[in-house]
Amino acid sequence: MSVLTVTVRAKRFPRGQWDLPVLQDVHFELAAGRVLGLVGASGCGKSTLLRIVAGLDPDFDGEVRLDGRARRGPDREIGVVFQEPRLFPWLTVAENVGFDLGQGHDEAWVATLLREVGLAELGDALPRQLSGGQAQRAAIARALYTRPRVLLLDEPFSALDAFTRMRLQDLVREVAARHGTSLILVTHDVEEAVLLADRVLVLGAAPGRVVRRIDVPLVHPRGRDSAAVADLRGEVLRELERLS
Ligand SMILES: Nc1ncnc2c1ncn2[C@@H]1O[C@H](COP(=O)(O)OP(=O)(O)O)[C@@H](O)[C@H]1O
Ligand SMILES: [Mg+2]
């Protein structure tokens, strides 16, 4: 049963009506608890697609269905994590995680999330006191605060060092599995896509479209150095090379 069904017949930016659309005929579904990876060359429209799914850009020809219900606009059922943590600098970590306009601040839930992302001791800290990895942990906890069905991640680890990135890849997978959250992960790290995703969509550019779907039928946790991961990584890379 799909949690999310996305159809973008066309997405254009107002540059001129003769321009190619940025996205054309993109269609995919996301099943409950699954992880979908999106890879493609820089500028092919990945962030645009994620913003559409997040309800941050209502100006497109198509539809986004959540549990079968067509919707446009931001939704508590969909959380987003960007490349930068985007924390409010004047709020503590706990206040950032529980920041929810018009709603009460559920302290017990904030504490649970902080513990799950490894920040139990840092709830009273300010964002400037955090390392890059800690700040991104806080951003992940904040995105989970509304108990979303779907979490969208736009190159969430690309500003982090390799070791921190590995820790956070494992963390996101574990936390999402625990809460039954479905994930869409945009990444330019092909290994990351194969390690985390159940299915990888390779996007082509101009117009952005799905050129290939590669299933990753491997159980978790997946070894970074396993031959199966290396094979699938090679398959995705060859597809990207073919497109460039
Ligand atoms: N707000 C905007 N106005 C006009 N063009 C945009 C806007 N946002 C993105 N674009 C263009 O759309 C294309 C896709 O951008 P983006 O979705 O950011 O790609 P990606 O995330 O895959 O690198 C690029 O050519 C970019 O310049
Ligand atoms: Mg992008």
How many angstroms does the Cα of residue 153 sit away from the middle of ligand 2?
10
Residue 130 has pLDDT above 70, yes or no: yes
Residue 244 has pLDDT above 90, yes or no: no
Residue spans per domain, the chain? 2-70+150-156+181-243
In this predicted structure, which of 36-50, 101-115, 128-142 has the lowest mean pLDDT? 101-115
Which residues place a Cβ less than 5 A from the ion ligand 2?
Answer: 47
For the residues 156-184, what does the mean pLDDT come to? 96
Residue 17 binned pLDDT confidence (cut-offs 50, 70, 90): low
User: Domain 2-70+150-156+181-243 adopts which CATH fold?
Assistant: Rossmann fold (3.40.50)
Question: What ranges in the chain are assigned the alpha helix state H?
Answer: 46-54, 93-97, 107-116, 132-144, 162-179, 190-196, 227-243
- Mutation to probe ligand 1, out of 20, 48, 57 (largest number of atoms < 8 A from CB): 48
Ligand 1 neighbours, Cβ below 6 Å, are: 13, 22, 40, 42-48
pLDDT tens digit sequence for 51-95: 999 999 999 999 999 999 999 899 999 999 999 999 999 999 999
For ligand 1, atom 18: residue with the closest CA? 47
Residue 102 has pLDDT above 70, yes or no: no
How many angstroms does the Cα of residue 125 sit away from the middle of ligand 2?
30
- Per DSSP, 200 falls in state E
How many angstroms does the Cα of residue 11 sit away from the middle of ligand 2?
15
What does the alpha-carbon distance between residue 130 and residue 124 come to, in Å, rounded to a whole number? Answer: 11
Query: Angle, nearest 10°, between helix axes 107-116 and 132-144?
Result: 130
For ligand 1, atom 6: residue with the closest CA? 13
Does the pTM surpass 0.75? The reply is yes
How many angstroms does the Cα of residue 43 sit away from the middle of ligand 1?
6
- Mutation to probe ligand 1, out of 8, 11, 12, 22 (largest number of atoms < 8 A from CB): 22
In the chain, pLDDT over 90 holds for what percent of residues?
92
For ligand 1, atom 20: residue with the closest CA? 43
